[in-house]
Chain A
């Protein structure tokens, strides 16, 4: 037998469900999952790893788009495989019958239960939508392609 230095995989998964707290924590009203939303940002915006929370600054605007974006469904709990913890929305993110005339190229996932704190930024080729629907289909929820992974 030999010991191996590692970040425990169970810990990675537990981070995704709020089991550990090394600092000033959050008082939760229940064990229920938080709610998450997805907001679109203009190509001229600067959302990145330094983004700490949702902001309406440089968010897209247009017909039928509500500031803050749309709800994101996480119907499948986080899980682990190998040494990776991962979670992926269980449904596509859809903005229905919108007109977004100014080019946008990023979506911010954020926690609307916890003061709109930022989770992740995903960029893509610049788009506009005219009286149409913008759909973001999620990758396969596994250790190599899950949308959010702790490897």
Chain B
């Protein structure tokens, strides 16, 4: 039994339907978890790990 923060306040997870998944691509790995109360989404959290950074190129231009 665990307490889940939802749009309806804190709820016991035994009252909710849990859905979760992982999406992995070249840019990021995303883990998501949803809790549904009947047909209503009441909680969705996302944990994402970034893989692709941004790089600036520093160039020393040739002379002449």
* A5 and B54 alpha carbons, distance in the complex (Å): 24
A130 lies within 8 A of B44 (CB): yes
- How many contacts between A and B, using CB within 8 angstroms? 97
Report the minimal beta-carbon distance from B12 to chain A, rounded to whole angstroms.
15
Secondary structure call for the B interface: strand
Across the two chains, which residue of chain A brings its CB closest to B34? A130
Q: Which of A123, A125, A139 contacts B30, CB < 8 Å?
A: A125
* A99 and B60 alpha carbons, distance in the complex (Å): 47
A114 at the interface (CB under 8 A from B): no
* A6 and B25 alpha carbons, distance in the complex (Å): 34
Q: Which of A124, A131, A134, A148 contacts B43, CB < 8 Å?
A: A131
* A127 and B48 alpha carbons, distance in the complex (Å): 10
Number of interface residues of B (CB under 8 A): 31
**A149 in contact with B56 given A124-B50, A130-B41, A132-B46 (CB within 8 Å):** yes
B45 lies within 8 A of A134 (CB): yes
A12 lies within 8 A of B58 (CB): yes
* A72 and B39 alpha carbons, distance in the complex (Å): 37
A151 lies within 8 A of B53 (CB): no
Report the minimal beta-carbon distance from B6 to chain A, rounded to whole angstroms.
5
Tell me the B15-64 residues at the A interface (CB within 8 Å): 23, 25, 27-28, 30, 32-34, 41-51, 53-60, 62
Report the minimal beta-carbon distance from A56 to chain B, rounded to whole angstroms.
22
A51 at the interface (CB under 8 A from B): no
Interface residues of B (CB under 8 A from A): 5-7, 23, 25, 27-28, 30, 32-34, 41-51, 53-60, 62
Q: A132-B46, A134-B45, A148-B54 are in contact. List 18 more A-B contacts (CB 8 A).
A: A5-B60, A5-B62, A88-B53, A120-B54, A125-B25, A130-B44, A132-B43, A132-B44, A134-B48, A137-B47, A137-B49, A138-B49, A139-B49, A139-B50, A149-B53, A149-B55, A149-B56, A150-B56
